Structure 1
Amino acid sequence: MAHTDRAMMPPVDVLVVGAGTTGLTLALQAHAHGASVRVVERRPEPFRPSRALILHPRTLEVLRPLGVTEALLDVADTAPTARVHLGSRVVEAGLGDLALPDTAFPQLSLVRQAHVESVLTRALTDRGVAVERGTELLTARDDGHGARAVLRSAHGIEEARCSSVVGCDGPASAVRESAGIGWYGRPYAEEVILADVDLGSAFAPFGAQVFAGRDGLLFLFPLGEQAPWRLLATRTSADGSGRDFGQPGPAVPRAELQRLVDDTGLEAVIERLAWSARVPLQCRLARRFRRGRLFLAGDAAHNYSPATGQGMNAGIQDAVNLGWKLGLTADRLGPGTDVLLDSYDGERRSAAQGRMVLTHAAFWAEASTGRVPSWLRAVGAPWAAPLVPALLDRRRLVAEAVRLISQLRVNYRRSPLSVDGTPRLWGAPRPGDRLPDATVSTDGTVGRLHGLLARPGVHLLLQRDADPPPDVLTGPRVTVLRLTNSPGRGLLAVRPDGHVGFRCGAVDPAALSAWLSLAGVTAAG
């Protein structure tokens, strides 16, 4: 087997396998917190067309400190509308400017996954990190002192040395297989049908269109990449054997797609079919997200149905959680950092279990052909349609639904990184909770809290009368901010992913130092 001169390349801290949205975000977050990174991707070109189409508010929040959110919003529809067809009734809904005062992004943003990947790739390039396409991971292992990975590319075979390997390489993850991590779950009996279609000028784009029928839902998004419309339908799978879950499979005949459109009652003709595929689905969760120096994130760790749009968003949030932990411990991995690194599995696997319940219930209502869900879509929903506008007018109700699906309520209260000091600081977010956005005053200047924290690292928020922390506890990875509109002597320590880590009613240098050490921030910063 031919070896390449690349086998002599110096080791890096983090080898990221997979250059989808999860892998690119992981690389950015780890790099922003001090790690050297490599990103390898077996595909020679970016995957097209996009599968994911929605960015949630929480996802935009966690990406903001990496400096990419504005570029994403520039290519997104941040005020999307939807027409929901329930039998003969049509209900219009707006998904922008929701009643979410504690976030800077109170909307569901429609954006193609391909555009998200382009923005993230450009940000990595600006930081001097190039994606190595056409490079496949063959095996990876923990050698007791770090990790070793065998890579194959056009240059030959390379054994790469690194501190950690992160598998962001999808459902058929080579990293998961190398780590010997099993996963449990099952295939769905239903599949997704995707297509880019041109429905002609008689059907002009007006936001997303959703059609509820006895056999499932059909969506039309004005986000096609090779034609004006992206069609997404859920139907019973035609073939249960030999499926590559989550990956586009055989093309769908135009006649079959036209029948799907006709079944909705929509008087539209597919004038041009640019692309189509069947996508088999499964619901699975890895039994662990870490084994030694090998980690899993995104679709390599969990697979869901497309209901509520979790895939891309969950992977990005995994990456932000793990990336800062690998970055801050890159130069000193060992027993002293195991609590921090193990917290990734405890925090994100628990969140994934909650998402699995949510998506499974939503997909049952959306796609199951059982008697009850079929009746609900075909009979119950049209009957209840007159009540829907009144419900949508209750903006707080809609906002709470978006808060749930976008993971704004996820907390890590049981994490070892969530610490309450003495005396306790009452009236503040609990350790492990997401820090909500708010209007604050700092040195006489009024601004939004999340905007002030939109940079990598740990943030110490001091109340107005709090003692300053000792200089030895601050440094390039720790930012101190005094909130002059918040009376009291306490402080909050906010993790790089926007969750509260430490809370105390007074500045206790010893307790704060212990938490900063636990979080991977040394006295030198």
Structure 2
Amino acid sequence: MAHQVSTAAGSYDVDVLIVGAGPTGLALAAQLAAYGTSFRILDRRLRPVEESRALAIQPRTLEALRPFGLSAELAAAGTPARRLQLHLPEENLDVDLFDTGLEDTQYGHLLFLPQSETEQALIRHLGSRGVRVERGVELMDLQRLDPEDPFAGMEARIQRMDRGIERIRARYVVGADGLNSTVRAKAGMDFRGGRYPDTFVVADLEVDGVQPDTVHAYPAEDGFLFLFPLGRPAGWRMISIREPGDDSALDTASLQRIVDRFSDGEVTVRDPQWISTFRLSHQIAEYFQNGSVFLAGDAAHVHSPVAAQGMNTGIQDALNLGWKLALGARGLASDDLIDSYDAERRPVAKDILGFTDRIFRLATSRNALMKLPRTKLLPLLAPKATGITPLRSAVYRRVSQLGIGYRGSDMTDSNGFPFPGAPRPGDRLPDAEVLQDGARRRLHDVTAAPGFHILLTGQGWEDDAAARLAADLPRLTGLLSVHRLVPGSPIAAAAPGVVQDTGGDALRRLGVRPRRPALLVIRPDGHIGYRSTGTELDGAVAYLRRLTAAADSAAAAAAG
């Protein structure tokens, strides 16, 4: 259990019960631990996964894991892929990956790293915070603490392999327990969609005859072959489609026959470390929240592995939800803030599911009409399309998940229009190199501490602006940081704590002018929640009070 700052008051044994200790559940646990929220994390498996399973970490996920000190460790352990080689019938087309459209992040590449190593990094981090995953524990049942009030918490009945049945009363329950989620079933949340008809083969092995550190794609009439540079536990990950009716045993020879179908014998595979077959689904939960029960990751949505979106989407589900539950456990979250998880994340997951489904069907369909795009149009258009920089930028922005935002969410607001091209409320905070107290840092480092961050830019701010904000928002003591962001020079000292934009990138990417005052509230998940122009503070205060309105009302009622 995490170190506790908040306590599960009243009838609760714990604030949050997390069911499932894959990447999604572990990321959620890391965020709750950062806030000192009481929680338990359970998993039916006796040990973490050993296979690589998900293998790609997107730039936005590396950013999102930065507050836990994991991004540098993962980046050092993984294999960056900066090039795609598309093997077409008449030519091999080299495409630079993420070479444009990602200027506002430190992580301008796709990182290949076995899921097992990503999980181990999260487990080590949690261990340093005194958190232990409870393994060999299975959820048997979920019941509302109050049958008439779905928001009053849940009682979970769990089966422990070592100690029998236990009951846990939790303020919130999060199902991060995968495709066959018990939490989803017990909460009565529909899972809608279907399965793809084909069977696929996956193997971690060694490959000869291909360029290293490059993703290789072989689209063909019969389907596709992908080779991904993995590094460990083998040099490469192979994914392909099996021929209909082929139920033969898989070994090196059968894998070679599959590869030969797509590579015309130019590629040799050997020394497989792991071989498996799998079927794929495209499904999404009707809701991501039912009262005090939430779904995240594969428990909420599953889709094809196209564009490496699955694990990354699950981790970002967790980091959208975690801070909201952490504030809720402290009595600092309005009902609307808690409910905004479904409103913000389900549209994202639905969009990703539709995007990956369309591409996957084009890549795998045996229908004569559906095959045309990959067999006829792709060889014709790919050489031209890959030369269009704005198109590549848009595609990479989407795939990297840097473009995901929550514009229009009720949990965002503005007072005054930003300059054209500026990030809007709901958008991710762009990153840039800055100088603070004489040290080079990233803007994302400045805003990494748990809680809300307010950036004050431009001229005209009173010296006591931070103190006034703190006085107006006493309930956010310890969860509100105010920063002055100013133009600067590496040779000119600034006041302690002031953030200097010595290169001009931070202010430019924020869409603010050096002299004109502006204010931005950064949510705990790294998205802009509120922005305004001028030196007026009331709008930011009102925005943050609205997010905690229910807690304030309850406190006022108690005082009365």
Residues 64-120 of structure 1, C-alpha deviations (whole Å, 9 max, x = no match): 122211111111123443322112421223335544211121111121111111111
Please tell me the residue identity of whatever aligns with 1:340: L
Residues 321-358 of structure 1, C-alpha deviations (whole Å, 9 max, x = no match): 0011011111338xx63201110000000111111221
Q: Give runs of aligned pairs for residues 28-427 of structure 1, distance below 5 A.
A: 28-95=30-97, 97-144=99-146, 145-154=152-161, 155-199=163-207, 205=212, 207-223=214-230, 225-235=232-242, 238=245, 252-264=250-262, 265-332=264-331, 337-384=334-381, 387=383, 391-421=385-415, 423-424=416-417, 426=419
State whether residues 198 and 272 of structure 1, in contact with CA within 8 Å, keep that contact through their aligned partners in structure 2. Answer: yes
Match of 1:455 in 2: 449
Residues 182-237 of structure 1, C-alpha deviations (whole Å, 9 max, x = no match): 021111123331112344x6668453322111111111223265543321013466
Equivalent in 518, 534, 553 of residue 490 of structure 1: 518
Give the root-mean-square deviation of aligned CA atoms.
Answer: 2.8
Please tell me the residue identity of whatever aligns with 1:366: A
Q: Runs of 5+ in structure 1 lacking a partner?
A: 1-8, 240-248
Tell me by how many angstroms 1:516 deviates: 1.8
Residues of 2 paired with 1:447 and 1:204: CA distance?
35
Residues of 1 paired with 2:439 and 2:29: CA distance?
34
Deviates more, 1:76-85 or 1:37-46: 76-85
> Residues 447 and 67 of structure 1: is their aligned pair in 2 closer, same or farther, counting only changes over 3 Å?
closer
% identity of equivalent residues: 39
> Residues 342 and 250 of structure 1: is their aligned pair in 2 closer, same or farther, counting only changes over 3 Å?
farther
If the length of structure 2 is used for normalisation, what is the TM-score? 0.82
> Residues 63 and 519 of structure 1: is their aligned pair in 2 closer, same or farther, counting only changes over 3 Å?
farther
Please tell me the residue identity of whatever aligns with 1:358: F
Residues 126-182 of structure 1, C-alpha deviations (whole Å, 9 max, x = no match): 111011111111122331332211111222111112211100000110110111000
Match of 1:245 in 2: none
Deviates more, 1:482-491 or 1:164-173: 482-491
Match of 2:5 in 1: none
Tell me by how many angstroms 1:447 deviates: 5.3
Tell me by how many angstroms 1:306 deviates: 0.9
Residues of 1 paired with 2:435 and 2:73: CA distance?
27
State whether residues 12 and 171 of structure 2, in contact with CA within 8 Å, keep that contact through their aligned partners in structure 1. Answer: no
State whether residues 81 and 229 of structure 2, in contact with CA within 8 Å, keep that contact through their aligned partners in structure 1. Answer: no
- Indicate the structure whose relative CO is greater, using CA pairs within 8 Å and at least 6 residues apart: 1
Residues of 2 paired with 1:183 and 1:407: CA distance?
24
Q: Runs of 5+ in structure 2 lacking a partner?
A: 1-10, 147-151, 488-513, 556-560
State whether residues 49 and 114 of structure 1, in contact with CA within 8 Å, keep that contact through their aligned partners in structure 2. Answer: yes
State whether residues 337 and 547 of structure 2, in contact with CA within 8 Å, keep that contact through their aligned partners in structure 1. Answer: yes
Residues of 1 paired with 2:452 and 2:251: CA distance?
53
Residues of 1 paired with 2:452 and 2:536: CA distance?
17
Deviates more, 1:62-71 or 1:173-182: 62-71
Residues of 1 paired with 2:225 and 2:406: CA distance?
36
Tell me, what secondary structure is at the counterpart of 1:513?
Answer: helix
Tell me, what secondary structure is at the counterpart of 2:456?
Answer: strand
> Residues 459 and 251 of structure 1: is their aligned pair in 2 closer, same or farther, counting only changes over 3 Å?
farther
Match of 2:6 in 1: none
Residues of 1 paired with 2:120 and 2:216: CA distance?
27
State whether residues 219 and 374 of structure 2, in contact with CA within 8 Å, keep that contact through their aligned partners in structure 1. Answer: yes
Please tell me the residue identity of whatever aligns with 1:84: L
Give the 4+ runs in structure 1 shifted more than 6 A. Answer: 441-446, 521-524
| Counterpart check, 1:515 vs 2:543 | yes
State whether residues 339 and 518 of structure 1, in contact with CA within 8 Å, keep that contact through their aligned partners in structure 2. Answer: no
Count of aligned pairs between the two proteins? 500
Please tell me the residue identity of whatever aligns with 1:437: D
Tell me, what secondary structure is at the counterpart of 2:122?
Answer: helix
> Residues 507 and 442 of structure 1: is their aligned pair in 2 closer, same or farther, counting only changes over 3 Å?
farther
Residues 357-416 of structure 1, C-alpha deviations (whole Å, 9 max, x = no match): 21111112221222134233334434456x25xx54555432321101222222212211
Match of 2:461 in 1: 466
Residues 254-307 of structure 1, C-alpha deviations (whole Å, 9 max, x = no match): 444222111021334444343221111111110101111110000000111111
Tell me by how many angstroms 1:48 deviates: 2.6
